[in-house]
Amino acid sequence: MKPLASWMTELLDRINFWTKWVNNGSPPAFWISGFIFPQAFFTATLQNYARKAVIAIDELQFDFKIIDEFSVAEITEKPEDGAYVFGMFMEGARWNNTTHLLDDSNPK
């Protein structure tokens, strides 16, 4: 459970993200933690590709590539296919930008 102040800060960040999307159109990169139901966003991304490629959505699967060569602020254009997302987090490990691998956050 988050303290109220952190929760409010995140709520304001979400409102800001959605307001920019509504006012300026679809962003080049999506803050995945800003979605209440991110699974729907991923399904919509698959549906868009399926329609574009004229492929049944059941024949598609997700493929992820971690891009850590540049920051989110440097992304100015959308990818030709798929979507750039940021703001993912994990428990029990962390991403190492030097080795481009997961680090155990609790080494033995």
- What's 17-56 look like in SS3? HHHHHHHHCCCCEEEHHHCCCHHHHHHHHHHHHHHHHCCC
Per the CB < 8 A criterion, the answer to whether 87 and 33 are in contact is yes
Tell me: pLDDT of 107 over 70. Answer: no
Q: Which has the higher per-residue pLDDT, 36 or 90? A: 36
Tell me: pLDDT of 59 over 90. Answer: yes
